[in-house]
């Protein structure tokens, strides 16, 4: 599913209007969807307070107020701003509301079971202040449930950032397509449950808009997800090579197990001779070979069936790790650089970037701290997480997977996916090592870098949901099995239709 910025959504509206469907009709459909959502949240005949602004978001509110009253609910309407300055379509919707329009005050909100927040939507253009800020605070202090129209007022639909202060909603009803602000934090948390309604905008407008951001779902990458065929064998399913470190050996072991579970035909882990027995004792199906520094790693790379390489988990943020990363990039394999491998380039990121560009099939998987170390030019940037990841992907010539509860995956060509399925208990030691292993396993099976990174982030989140609270990273590779079963099942169904 595409994610549309507010600017892209305005274009969708404009294209629809140009094709002969006026804004007033879209507003009526939007108001009907708000009414339907409100009804789902309300006991029969309850009291609803509709908080309107003077823009079209307020227009949706006025439509919903009228329809809710017609359905037998007790409805009060409050407005922030001058009713005389309403936008034309919103003014037309307001004219059909025959009840009083009050100034917003705490006592009028009292007794409402539900507040419909139609103060600001896509038109939010500055920080919420003055009377609007007062209204937002009254909503947040109220004990009523809150249904936000399009976005909670104060949340920027494009970035998910809060402009000043924002309404905390229990549910948000939005139209045509979700916006990045519904999935990026903190916006996602403020939306509550997000519902999507179709209001008569034809999907055909998406071609003209050319959106390049998607919600991270199998529909985005499922068509190139590797599914083992009946005639396949382990040599046809790729061969992942993982560089193991000498101190934190658990990290590379987790990654190796995850790469194997993901379906790579073979996984080789190169380990410094001193710690070889630790790796050998802990891994059965993974091939563990001695690897003595740079030369040893170069030897492992001589076998060109090893087509995807991971450097970073537990490697040590030092020059030796940087050399391994360098060799991997030079080898023209698909490469994942994680954790210490990223930090090892912190003083000379340009070197990393130039190598990435030559390789062309590289995934970098930083968390915020590593991101700030490697992409120093973007440190402290006011841009959204989506835009920062995109800028980093463009600058580095690689796919960038910027971790978090709202992981963003961006490609150098501007494509981006945002994940929303990671439960809080996934933030635990070793979880990132598993993610790096999943990506490597998918790359080994020939999946392109952007799709592999997006698929891995989704699978990682789904596996964590399978496990539930109390998850430790060791649980994750095994929990990939039901996730893979779902993906293989979906692929089989797609083939049979």
Binding of residue 329 to ligand NAX (CB under 6 A): no
Q: Is 39 helix (H, G, I), strand (E, B) or coil?
A: helix
Contact at 8 Å (CB) between 381 and 388? yes
DSSP 460-474: HHHHHHHH-TT--TT
**Cα 99 to Cα 248: distance, rounded to the nearest angstrom:** 68
Determine if residue 124 is labeled as part of a ligand binding site: yes
What would the two tokens of residue 354 be?
A: 């130039």
Among 54, 113, 262, 398, contact with ligand NAX (rule: CB under 6 A): 54
Q: Which of 46, 128, 190, 264 binds ligand NAX (CB under 6 A)?
A: 128
From the CB of 407, what's the least distance to ligand NAX, in Å? 26
Is 432 labelled a binding residue? yes
Q: Which of residues 180-219 bind ligand NAX (CB under 6 A)?
A: 199
Asked if residue 186 has a cis previous peptide bond (ω within 30° of 0), the answer is yes
Inter-residue contact 313 to 321 (CB < 8 Å): no
DSSP per residue, 386-405: HHHHHHHHHHHTSEEEE-ST
Is position 314 annotated in a ligand binding site?
yes
Binding site annotation covers 140? Answer: no
Of 56, 158, 334, 445, which one interacts with ligand NAX (CB under 6 A)?
Answer: 56
SS3 197: strand
Partner touching 56 among ligand NAX, K ion, none, CB below 5 to 8 Å by kind: ligand NAX
- Residue 58 sits in the site that holds ligand NAX (CB under 6 A): yes
Tell whether residue 318 is among the known ligand binding residues.
no
Q: Please list, in sequence order, all residues whose beta carbon lies within 8 angstroms of the beta carbon of residue 33, skipping any fewer than 6 positions away.
A: 173, 175, 195, 197, 199
For residues 486 and 492, what is the distance between their CA atoms, to the nearest angstrom? 10
Please check whether residue 465 is in contact with residue 423, taking contact to mean a CB–CB distance below 8 angstroms: yes
Distances (CA, A) of 72 to 31, 61, 66, 75: 16, 17, 10, 9
Of 127-135, 177-185, 215-223, 460-468: span binding ligand NAX (CB under 6 A): 127-135
Binding segment (CB under 6 A) for ligand NAX, from list 25-33, 189-197, 393-401, 454-462? 25-33
The residue among 368, 369, 337 whose CA lies nearest residue 353 is: 337
- Residue 55 or 441: the one with the smaller Cβ distance to ligand NAX is 55
- Which entry of ligand NAX, K ion, none binds 178, CB below 5 to 8 A by partner kind? none
Which residues, in sequence order, are bridge partners of residue 287? 268
Single out the residue of 60, 161, 340, 420 in contact with ligand NAX (rule: CB under 6 A). Answer: 60
Check residue 431 for interaction with ligand NAX (CB under 6 A). Answer: no
Q: For residue 122, state whether it binds ligand NAX (rule: CB under 6 A).
A: yes
Pick 6 or 249: Cβ nearer K ion: 6
Determine, following the binding rule CB under 6 A, whether residue 156 of this chain makes contact with ligand NAX: no
> What does 126 bind: K ion, ligand NAX, none (CB cut-off 5 to 8 Å by kind)?
ligand NAX
Q: How far is CA 456 from CA 71, 102, 464, in A?
A: 47, 51, 12
Kindly list the residues in this chain that would bind K ion in the complex (CB under 5 A). Answer: 117, 121, 148-149, 153
Candidate residues 21, 87, 212, 217; the one interacting with ligand NAX per rule CB under 6 A: 87
Q: How far is the CB of 172 from K ion (least distance, A)?
A: 8
**281 annotated as a binding-site residue:** no
Looking at the Cβ atoms of 88 and 111, the one nearer to ligand NAX is: 88
Say if residue 381 carries a ligand binding annotation.
Answer: no
- Binding-residue total with ligand NAX (CB under 6 A): 28
Choose among 214, 203, 292, 250: nearest CA to 450: 214
Angle in degrees, CA 148, 154, 160, rounded to 5: 90
Query: Which residues make up the interface to ligand NAX (CB under 6 A)?
Result: 13, 23, 26-27, 30, 53-60, 87, 120-128, 132, 149-150, 175, 199
Q: Where is the binding site, in residues?
A: 56-60, 117, 121-127, 150, 153, 251, 314, 367, 403-407, 432-433
């Amino acid at each position: 599913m595409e994610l549309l910025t507010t600017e892209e959504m305005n274009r969708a509206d404009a294209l629809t209007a140009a094709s002969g469907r006026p804004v007033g009709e879209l507003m009526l459909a939007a108001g009907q969807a708000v009414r339907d959502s409100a009804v789902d949240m309300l006991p029969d005949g309850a009291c609803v307070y509709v908080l309107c602004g003077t823009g079209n978001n307020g227009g949706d509110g006025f439509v919903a107020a009228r329809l809710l009253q017609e359905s037998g609910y007790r409805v009060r309407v409050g407005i922030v701003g001058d009713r005389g300055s309403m936008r034309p379509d919103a003014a037309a919707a307001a004219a059909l509301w025959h009840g009083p329009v009050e100034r917003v005050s705490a006592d009028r909100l009292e007794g409402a079971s539900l507040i419909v927040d139609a103060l600001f939507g896509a038109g939010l253009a500055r920080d919420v202040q003055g009377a609007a800020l007062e209204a937002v605070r009254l909503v947040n202090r109220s004990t009523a449930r809150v249904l936000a129209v399009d976005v909670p007022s104060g949340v920027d639909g494009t970035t998910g950032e809060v402009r000043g202060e924002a309404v905390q909603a229990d549910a948000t009803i939005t139209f045509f397509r979700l916006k990045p602000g519904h999935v990026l934090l903190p916006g996602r948390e403020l939306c509550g449950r997000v519902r999507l309604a179709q209001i008569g905008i034809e999907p055909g407008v998406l071609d003209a808009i050319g959106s390049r951001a998607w919600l991270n779902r199998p529909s985005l990458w499922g068509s190139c997800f590797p599914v083992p065929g009946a005639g396949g064998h382990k040599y046809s399913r790729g061969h992942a090579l993982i560089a193991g470190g000498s101190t934190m050996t658990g990290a590379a072991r987790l990654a190796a197990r995850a790469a194997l579970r993901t379906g790579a035909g073979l996984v080789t882990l190169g380990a410094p001779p001193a710690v070889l027995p630790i790796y050998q004792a802990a891994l059965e199906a993974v091939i563990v070979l001695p690897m003595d520094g740079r030369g040893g790693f170069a030897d492992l790379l001589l076998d060109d069936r090893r087509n995807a390489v991971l450097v970073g988990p537990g490697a040590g943020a030092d020059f030796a790790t940087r050399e391994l990363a360098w060799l991997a990039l030079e080898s023209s394999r698909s490469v994942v650089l994680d954790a210490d491998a990223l930090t090892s380039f912190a003083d000379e990121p340009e070197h990393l970037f130039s190598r990435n560009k030559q390789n062309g099939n590289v995934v970098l998987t930083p968390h915020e701290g590593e991101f700030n170390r490697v992409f120093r030019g973007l440190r402290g940037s006011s841009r959204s997480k989506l835009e920062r990841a995109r800028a980093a992907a463009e600058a580095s010539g690689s796919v960038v997977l910027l971790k978090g509860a709202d992981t963003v995956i961006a490609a150098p060509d501007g494509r981006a996916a945002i994940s929303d399925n990671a439960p809080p208990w996934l933030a635990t030691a070793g979880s990132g090592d598993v993610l790096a292993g999943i990506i490597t396993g998918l790359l080994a099976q020939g999946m392109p870098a952007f799709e592999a990174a997006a698929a891995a982030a989704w699978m990682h989140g789904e596996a964590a949901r399978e496990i539930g609270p109390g998850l430790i990273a060791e649980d994750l590779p095994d929990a990939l099995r039901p996730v893979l079963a779902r993906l293989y099942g979906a692929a089989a169904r797609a083939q049979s239709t």
